[in-house]
Structure 1
Amino acid sequence: MADGAVERARSFGSAAGRYADHRPSYPDGLFDVLEEVSGVALAGARVADVGAGTGIATRLLHDRGAAVVGVEPGAAMADEFRRRHPQVPLVRGDGDRLPFASGSLDLLTYAQSWHWTDPARSGPEALRVLRPGGALAVWSNDPDTGIEWIAGQQARIEEEFGPGWYVNEHPRSQSGLEFTTRSLRWSRRIGVDAHLAKLATHSLFLVGLPGTGEFLVRERERLLRLFPGGTVAEHYVVDLRVARAGRPERPLT
Structure 2
Amino acid sequence: MTAPDHTTRAHSFNTAAAQYAAHRPSYPPALLDAVEELSGRSLRGARVADIGAGTGKATGLLLARGSDVIAVEPGYGMAAELRRAHPDVPLVRGDGNHLPLATASVDLLTYAQSWHWTDPSRSIPEARRVLRPGGAIALWWNVSPADVPWIAEAGARRAAHFGLDVKADERLGTHAGVADPEDRLGLTARTLRWTRHVPLDTHLANLGSHSMFLIDTEERRAAYFAEEREHLLRVFPDGVIEETYDVDLLVARTEA
Q: Tell me the TM-score normalized by structure 1.
A: 0.93
Cα offset, 1:173, TM superposition = 4.0
Superposed, 1:66-215 pairs within 5 Å as 66-161=67-162, 162-164=164-166, 165-166=169-170, 168-169=172-173, 171-174=178-181, 176-209=184-217, 211-215=220-224
Aligned equivalent of 1:220, options 223, 226, 229: 229
1:140/1:168 contact within 8 Å kept: no
Is 2:72 the counterpart of 1:65?
no
Cα offset, 1:3, TM superposition = 6.9
SS in 2 for 1:14: helix
Tell me the distance in 1 between the aligned counterparts of 2:4 and 2:69.
32
SS in 2 for 1:103: coil
SS in 1 for 2:170: coil
Is 2:235 the counterpart of 1:234?
no
The alignment's C-alpha RMSD in Å is 1.6
1:59/1:88 contact within 8 Å kept: no
Cα offset, 1:126, TM superposition = 0.5
SS in 1 for 2:181: helix
Cα offset, 1:25, TM superposition = 0.6
Question: Identity of aligned pairs, percent?
Answer: 54
2:197/2:240 contact within 8 Å kept: yes
Can you give the 5+ residue segments of structure 1 that lack an aligned partner in the other structure?
A: 248-253
Question: Measured at CA, do residues 187 and 67 of structure 1 come closer, stay the same or move farther in structure 2, by a change above 3 Å?
Answer: same
Deviations 1:193-213 (A, max 9, x none): 110000000000101247233
Tell me the distance in 1 between the aligned counterparts of 2:196 and 2:110.
24
Of the structure 1 ranges 154-163 and 70-79, higher mean CA displacement relative to structure 2 is found in 154-163
Tell me the distance in 2 between the aligned counterparts of 1:3 and 1:208.
10
State the number of aligned residues.
246
The runs of at least 4 aligned residues of structure 1 exceeding 6 Å deviation read none
SS in 1 for 2:5: helix
Can you give the 5+ residue segments of structure 2 that lack an aligned partner in the other structure?
A: none
SS in 2 for 1:211: helix
Cα offset, 1:40, TM superposition = 2.0
Of the structure 1 ranges 182-191 and 204-213, higher mean CA displacement relative to structure 2 is found in 204-213
Of the structure 1 ranges 12-21 and 211-220, higher mean CA displacement relative to structure 2 is found in 211-220
1:40/1:107 contact within 8 Å kept: no
1:26/1:57 contact within 8 Å kept: yes
